[in-house]
Amino acid sequence: MAEDNKIENGAENLAGKAKEFGGKVTGDSHLEAEGKTDQVKAGIKDKVEDIKGAVSGVTDSLKKD
């Protein structure tokens, strides 16, 4: 499941880059800002997945003890 989320986050990041680029090319500052926002959101979601994985690893190791 975590890998699926990472793939989705990567796709969201890529879409954000495309929006940002499109906004720059067309002079649409709103679209450019929306693209940057999408990239930040994708990055945050990706970090949350990393934290979930780390917490899961810790809880698994505690269960073994």
Sign of CA dihedral 50, 55, 61, 63: negative
pLDDT at 60: 80
With bands split at pLDDT 50, 70 and 90, how would you rate the model's confidence at 1?
Answer: low
Residues above pLDDT 70, as percent of the chain: 97
Within 8 A by CB and 6+ apart from 4, the residues are none
Burial class (CB in 10 A: 0-12, 13-18, 19+), 35: buried
Average pLDDT, the chain: 93
pLDDT band at 65 (very low <50, low <70, confident <90, very high): low
The parent domain of residue 16 ranges over 2-64
Provide the domain count of the chain.
Answer: 1
